[in-house]
Amino acid sequence: MNIHEYQAKEILNGYDVPVPRGRVAVTADQVERKAKMLGGRCVVKAQIYAGGRGKAGGVQVAYHPEQAHEIAKEMFGKRLVTPQTGPEGLKVRRILVEETVEVGREYYLSIALDRQSSRYCLIGSAAGGVNIEEVAASSPEKIHKLLIDPYTGLRSYQARKLAHALGLEGGVAEDCVQLILNLYRCCLDKDCSLIEINPLVVTKAGWLLALDAKINFDDNALFRHWEYHEMQDYSQMEPLEISAAKFDLAYIKLDGNIGCMVNGAGLAMATLDVLKEKGGEPANFLDVGGGATREKVAEAFRIILQDSDVKAVFVNIFGGIMRCDVIAQGIIEAASDSHCDLPIVVRMDGSQVAEGKALLEQSGLNVQCADFLGDGAEKIVTMLQQAATDAAQGQERG
Ligand code: GDP
Ligand code: MN
């Protein structure tokens, strides 16, 4: 789970990590007022669920409150496109107004979950700032990494080793050690999968300061933190992923045109693989889970149909806990409600499969049943091609 920079900074501030003074605003007038409170000169920062804002014009310095107002007015109306947002970008609805800081030097510092070792990894670089991705690609030796043993936890000598690798010395190095230990404490308490400070700066006056902050929470730990629920900014998320989450369905948008409804993550991945092998392009990954009900199947199917990229639907379900006739009823209910005439292939197996198939065949939908995964994938690709040819011929005939 993602949160905004200003929220991440609030959390870090609670762990004695120094951050610039700042306030969040939702209108240009508010931005102007907050700029005045900060003495006029300020940084205006677009709050979106993505990084790379600096290079995309999402971080700008204003020299007086009226200018902050101007910048904010421009930003609020815009969808900010950065290398992390995809081509549509993300709409700016909140702006963080912060005091400006005289930057001496920029560093990169993060603690991230390393999947390979299943440990937290402390990462730092003296080449921090907006070009960190390029640094990581072209000069990986400038990125220092240290795995944290979950049994002993992060030790101060390890934090000191990293501070020295960044070239810090004396008092600033000790401040950095403390800051790193605080970050680690925050990681554990808050179940973060990532805390990233880029840039961490040493100001011209010689103070350490987190100029930017990004926190991701581990989704698997959300049940332990009810307070996170209201921190979420739904305007920054894919709408269909939000409705799916409400029904406890795992839905991920992909960029093809075949909607896929599957039960179980392993089966979902196998389905996408086989579909691609047969020349199909999945539009999403939707896992209805093990014991889905008729309502849940219907909701899942509706979510798939709401995606305008979907031109065909492939259902691949093993009816172990779920009965195939119940699955069929869910599909028929949702497809009829939405007047769906898209090609559908249903590959299912398990209890009550004959009854399920019979229901589908009598439903009047544009549906075919399949017995095997490969066979089903081939069928949906063929039906999709056929539909495209028919549409083209229809257009020619005018
Ligand atoms: P990102 O591009 O989304 O990661 O946004 P950041 O918050 O990191 O801002 C981009 C860049 O703006 C930073 O790397 C800094 O170089 C610069 N920046 C942000 N705030 C200030 C500030 O108060 N003073 C100065 N001099 N630079 C700033
Ligand atoms: Mn940054």
Structure pTM?
0.81
CA-to-CA separations, 380 to 209, 211, 364, in angstroms, rounded:
55, 51, 17
Least confident of 43-52, 208-217, 224-233: 224-233
pLDDT tens digits, one per residue of 248-261: 888 988 989 999 99
Residue 195 pLDDT > 80 = yes
pLDDT tens digits, one per residue of 81-111: 999 988 889 999 999 999 999 999 999 999 9
**Residue to mutate, 211, 214, 215, 236, ligand 1, most ligand atoms under 8 Å from C-beta:** 211
Give the number of the ligand closest to the Cα of residue 59: 1
Question: Around Cβ 386, how many Cβ atoms within 10 Å?
Answer: 11
Closest-CA residue to 280 (of 395, 384, 167, 159): 384
Residue 238 pLDDT > 90 = no
Atom of ligand 1 nearest to the CA of 55: 2
Q: What CATH number belongs to 238-397? A: 3.40.50.261
pLDDT at 364 (0 to 100) = 92
- When pLDDT is cut at 50, 70 and 90, the band that residue 174 belongs to is very high
| CA 74–ligand 2 middle distance (angstroms) | 21
Phi and psi for 21 in degrees, rounded to 5?
-65, 140
CB 161 within 8 A of CB 146: yes
Which sequence positions are flagged as catalytic?
Answer: 108, 196
* Residue 198 counted as an annotated binding residue: yes
Atom of ligand 1 nearest to the CA of 128: 14
Q: What CATH number belongs to 1-20+102-235? A: 3.30.470.20
| CA 305–ligand 2 middle distance (angstroms) | 37
pLDDT at 398 (0 to 100) = 60
Ion ligand 2 contact residues with beta carbon within 5 A: 198, 212
Domain boundaries, given as residue ranges, for the chain: 1-20+102-235, 21-100, 238-397
Q: What is the mean pLDDT of residues 335-344?
A: 91
Least confident of 63-77, 138-152, 243-257: 243-257
Please give all residues whose beta carbon lies within 6 A of any atom in ligand 1, as ranges.
43, 51-54, 59, 100-101, 103, 106, 129-130, 198-199, 211-212
- When pLDDT is cut at 50, 70 and 90, the band that residue 243 belongs to is confident
- Top-level class of domain 21-100: alpha beta
* Residue 101 counted as an annotated binding residue: yes
Q: What is the mean pLDDT of residues 253-270?
A: 92
